[in-house]
Amino acid sequence: MDSNPVIDMLGRRLRLAVIGGGPGSFIGAMHRTAARLDDRYELVAGVLSSDPERSRAAAAAIGIAPDRAYADTDELLAAEQARSDGADVVAIMTPNDSHHAYAVAALRHGFDVVCDKPVTNTLEGALDVVATVQETGLVYCLTHNYTGYPMVRQARAMVADGQLGEIQLVQVEYVQGGKAAERDPDPDGPLPWRYDPVRGGPSLVLGDIGTHAHNLVRFVTGREVTEVAADVGHIVANRLVDDYAGAMLRFDNGARGSFWVTQAATGVENCLRLRASGTRGTVEWMQEVPTQLVFRPAGSPAQIRTPNGPGTLPLAARASRIVAGHPEGFHEGFANVYSDAADAVAARRAGRDPDPLAMHFPNAFDGLMGVAFVDAAIRSSTDNGAWTSVDGVVDAVGIDGLPEVDDTRPVTDAAETSAS
């Protein structure tokens, strides 16, 4: 990433406004760092708290000018839309139940959008976001940040190039231990938003980390989960929310898979792991060792691919900033998603075609499929693990099949290799 395509196309950085991510927010700091890492954005405006005074104080603490530290989202959208130097992009990092309303409002005001996952809590809301993106023609990026890791993109490119053959088996797990001994809040008192099913969504574990695991499977394999047989609940006794989900998966090409997520595995930190097997080979990747992708070709010794190492494909090379052997991780992967979205936004605003390799960031349709998967898994679990159609979940809200989507993400030309 030697050049800055945004400045090349627009002569300036994109102006970014943020909604949420104020004091005490882990994810807010991650978003702001990711946005600025590759110098494609400048932070110019924000609403950082539902309390106006706290919002203004938090904005001042991160360098936002007082006249662009707004009391609420409506004020921000109206004021920034009216300015000649107003924001180009709105980034949303608020509780899950507000993602739909804020994203649709921002799109309707003419802003491109970057939104924390999930796209929203409900299928109806997710479908509305997809429809609004299609109607406005604006960019919507959903920050499933693990898709930004170079070796995850290497796996996607290898699958797309046919190096694994036809995908037959998929295993994904996302295992954390943070809630193994955590005490739940008093159910008779005010609930933090993650524990409130209206604000946090119908399943904490599926909305928080299950959507990441599902998205990773779709991103790498290019296949859709069509049916799920799930068990969703809690491991810790008397817990108010789900902390476990396990499922068997069926895919649109006949492949089979398994899915396991929990936040109650004692001693585990943040183990997101994927194995995808095809007729010609298998790839394996683990988030806690993110710079290594294991490739097991049929009839040959296992190979380890690394960022900018031998065999790096263009999609992975784009996401690798430094020479081989120098590790990059969570911040950089998150930044890759932001930077790709920036390049797409700048190309749209400049009236130019975007770099095809910039178009692999998760979009509104990806978010819709995540919400549909969560809904199907919950329905399946309620029905004692019965096989449940993901397409059927979407049909249940009045849509005749999945909406037609123009997926502009081409297959990477694997004949090229990294020139880094």
For the stretch 249-292, pLDDT in tens is: 999 999 999 999 999 999 999 999 999 999 999 999 999 999 99
400 found inside a domain? no
Q: What is the CATH number of the domain that holds 302?
A: 3.30.360.10
Q: How far apart are CA 399 and CA 266, in angstroms?
A: 42
More reliable by pLDDT, 393 or 163: 163
DSSP structure class, residue 253: T
298 found inside a domain? yes
Strands 270-278 and 225-233: unpaired
What is the domain range of residue 299?
147-322
269 found inside a domain? yes
Q: How far apart are CA 138 and CA 160, in angstroms?
A: 27
Per-residue pLDDT tens digits for 357-367: 999 999 999 99
CB atoms within 10 A of CB 320: 26
209 found inside a domain? yes
Per-residue pLDDT tens digits for 199-209: 777 899 999 99
193 found inside a domain? yes
Per-residue pLDDT tens digits for 211-245: 999 999 999 999 999 999 999 999 998 888 899 99
89 found inside a domain? no
State the Cα angle at 68 between 64 and 73, rounded to 5°. 110
Per-residue pLDDT tens digits for 25-62: 889 999 999 999 999 999 999 999 988 899 999 999 99
Alpha-carbon dihedral angle through residues 415, 148, 349, 12, given to the nearest 10 degrees:
-110
Please state whether the peptide bond connecting residue 118 to the residue before it is cis, i.e. omega within 30 degrees of 0.
yes
101 found inside a domain? no
207 found inside a domain? yes
Instruction: Quote the pLDDT of residue 30.
Output: 94
Task: Count up the domains in the chain and report the number.
Answer: 1
